[in-house]
Amino acid sequence: MKEKVVLAYSGGLDTTALIPWLKENFDYEVICCCINCGQGNELDGLEERAKLSGASKLYIEDVIDEFCDEFIMPCVQAGSVYEHKYLLGTSMARPAIARKLVEIARKENASAICHGATGKGNDQIRFELGIKALAPDIKIIAPWRMTDVWKMQSRQDEIDFCKAHGIDLPFDTSHSYSRDRNLWHISHEGLELEDPSQEPNYDDLLVLGVTPQKAPDKETLITMTFEQGVPKTLNGKEMKVSEIITELNRLGGENGVGIVDIVENRVVGMKSRGVYETPGGTILMEAHDQLEELILDRETMEAKKKLGSQFAQIVYEGKWFTPLREAIQAFVESTQQYVTGEVKLKLYKGNIIKAGTTSPYSLYSESLASFTTGELYDHHDASGFITLFGLPLTVRAMKKAAAEKK
């Protein structure tokens, strides 16, 4: 009986060419596994294509809700943003995919898992760290790093390889952006984006929405409610998190929200330039932050900001299945106990504008914040506070002056 390999299958040219390549070079029985994290119509026709290419079986596993609830929401609650801009769309999806690949490999008694990530990117790290953490006994095959066996260097090479194996596929050699899509975002790399001096060709590039310049010249009002840091309703309608993100994607895309052009530092040491569309995620993160402003005390907020940044680094580097990620997430979850309330905001030509926030757990006190302060605050108390708060500065200045006199 042949050994089995589970192939992380997207249906694109790269992973389709991998099916005959794995059979030819390793004599594996190839089991394709496509993990649906919200790719939309990219899943159309996959089963026929996989079987045509020589796969013995294709799994299409829908993990959209667990992706939203178990991977996206912890990052939203942590306020995790990589290098101030990237909302971790691809980074969050990879551990969800790795976990499902391991599950299918166990089910099929497969001895190996194969992925099509390149040897220059972050995804090879994310996939493989996830697999190692969950199934250290399973072999990992990364063809793009196996240059002694993987000889194909271009799309035309892959097309020719498939044709030589009797597989005629609807792909051509025309260049296009390299994209990765899920429910949270879509990323774009390649073509003019490889030159940071070039402006993105947004007319050809954008998929989820329009530029702010092309957005309607009118405001869109959004009302959201949260319970313990989790969104529950959107514009008065109760929905699952996945449904809320889907609708926010539509509204944000229409209004030119969530387009980011970034040169980021990859884990492998190089810089890469890409454009991310995250319309719904950008709105959701802003709404959550807006609610936390009312509820979290200063010291908790400061600690959370630091840990949120570290959480983003952990997720970006593929270290989801680690004790540190679990520990930081536990801290974040404890801060969400009272993050409950209603957030209103307006979308206008790429902007997200505050329109009012309320919470039964708000720490904001109008009588304290007002210039006509209430009985809890005595202006005279500030004098003693400032004296003590500034004591180190006063002592330092006195000592410095005395030293200069000598």
Active site amino acids: 14, 94, 123, 178
- 97 alpha-carbon distance from chain centroid: 13
> Within 13 A of 52's CA, how many CA atoms are on the CB side?
15
Q: Map 126-193 to HEC letters.
A: HHHHHHHHHCCCCEEECHHHCCCCCCCCCHHHHHHHHHHCCCCCCCCCCCCCEEEECCCCEEEECHHH
Give the dihedral sign, CA 86/75/284/183: positive
Distance, CA of 57 to CA of 33 (rounded, Å): 8
What are the structure tokens assigned to 114, written together?
A: 């194969």
Closest CA to 275 of 401, 189, 340, 346: 189
Gap between the Cα atoms of 98 and 35, Å rounded = 9
Beta bridge partners of 234: 224, 237
Across the beta sheet with 341-348, the strand order is: 237-238, 230-234, 220-227, 341-348, 351-358
349, HSE (Cβ side, Cα atoms, 13 Å): 5
Asked if residue 74 lies in contact with residue 25, where contact means CB atoms within 8 angstroms, the answer is: no
Tell me if 219 sits within 8 A of 193, measured CB to CB.
no
Q: 208: buried, middle or exposed (CB in 10 Å: 19+, 13-18, 0-12)?
A: buried
